[in-house]
Amino acid sequence: MILPALKKILLIIGTRPEAIKMAPVYLALQQAYEFFETKICLTGQHRELAEEVLDFFNIRADYQLGIMEESRGDLTLLTSLLLAKLSTVLEEFEPDCVLVQGDTSSAFSAALAAFYAGIKIGHVEAGLRTFDKHNPFPEEFNRVALSRMADFHFAPTALARHHLLHEKIPPENIIVCGNTGVDALLEAKKRRKDTSFPFEREGRKILLTTIHRRENQGTVFEGICSTLLKLSHRKGWLIVYPVHPNSNIYPIAHRLLANQPNLLLLDPLPYGDFIQLLLKSDLILTDSGGIQEEATVLGKPVLLVRKSTERSEAVGSGHVKMVGNEMEGIFWEGSKWMKKAEKGQLHVGATAVFGQGDASKQILNFLKERLGTQES
């Protein structure tokens, strides 16, 4: 038996959601050490948040770019710095394939750098679409552009595959594998410690809130905060809001919502604690993409503070209701769903619409085949 030479795989991680969804892929590749040499590049887009997730999974990054301190959140500067620094990493490691996840500027820039260098690109969570290039911005453009550059497309659902086929992506380069976020969630449920939060109280329901997206910042975010304040007046509820450290979110949230009855602001929670909070919540109000997926696995109802979603499967399953990002719609639907929860009418069972938790294994097997690592 002759084993082929090791293939080098570089995983790019910028944000906390990327860290969550790439962690199980990295662990799967690490277990196949006889086939792959695998390294992680942490761009630093959400450095502390991403590092905490990697720590949870006992993973360490091999490259640290520290990009956010230099870019100051400016998209043009962020992209140009990422291209330059990632090109240096590619020259040093010389990977056979670069894996990117989702739709961030880190993913887009890494794919572009790999494309320029003639390196194969694998796109984890490929094929999501809203068909509105401005919403969400710049994520929708990023994922469409990624599909034009990528060689391998790891689609989470059949609908995502359909979108890719419609865009003339060769079917042999697409695999429907489920979402790696499900893999991470199931692993986190095994690793987490089942503890109580100090704010838990018998008979009081919890509305978990997370808001951070670019389209929900500025005056829109101020309106969302005003709506949360109104919703917090409903008896028997506690609104728990782990506030994103983004400078366009954190100070405004604390100015408008701190020290209010029935409204608790927290710093970002460690991943395991956040999963624990998801499990204990009765209703979720969010603009997050990943939470839409996690809710279907955990059987939790979600009010989505967005005008469109690239995860229509979550809406179709009955777990997610889009409420837009205007005060009136959020308050109306929020009040209605809180009332339903009080009456025990918000029952959404767990579903496997985003996979069974074996996406990382499927990605591993696909890469073994397509990168020529099979035994001979």
> Do the beta carbons of residue 333 and residue 304 sit within 8 Å?
no
Q: Catalytic residue among 212, 213, 306, 319, which?
A: 212
> Do the beta carbons of residue 149 and residue 111 sit within 8 Å?
yes
Q: Annotated catalytic, 233?
A: no
Q: Annotated catalytic, 60?
A: no
**Tokens representing residue 299 in the block:** 């059987």
Q: Annotated catalytic, 139?
A: yes
Q: Catalytic residue among 214, 234, 273, 326, which?
A: 214
> Do the beta carbons of residue 128 and residue 104 sit within 8 Å?
no
Q: Catalytic residue among 18, 103, 282, 310, which?
A: 103
For residue 254, what is the enclosing H or E element?
Answer: helix 250-257
Question: Which residues contact residue 233 at a Cβ distance below 8 angstroms, ignoring those fewer than 6 apart?
Answer: 262
Q: Annotated catalytic, 72?
A: no
Q: Catalytic residue among 18, 51, 125, 183, which?
A: 125
Q: Annotated catalytic, 306?
A: no
Residue with tokens 């865009």: 167
Distance CA 330, CA 308 (A): 14
Question: Which residues contact residue 187 at a Cβ distance below 8 angstroms, ignoring those fewer than 6 apart?
Answer: 23, 24, 57
Distance CA 238, CA 203 (A): 11
Q: Annotated catalytic, 212?
A: yes
Q: Catalytic residue among 244, 306, 311, 319, which?
A: 244
Q: Which residues are catalytic?
A: 103, 125, 139, 212, 214, 244
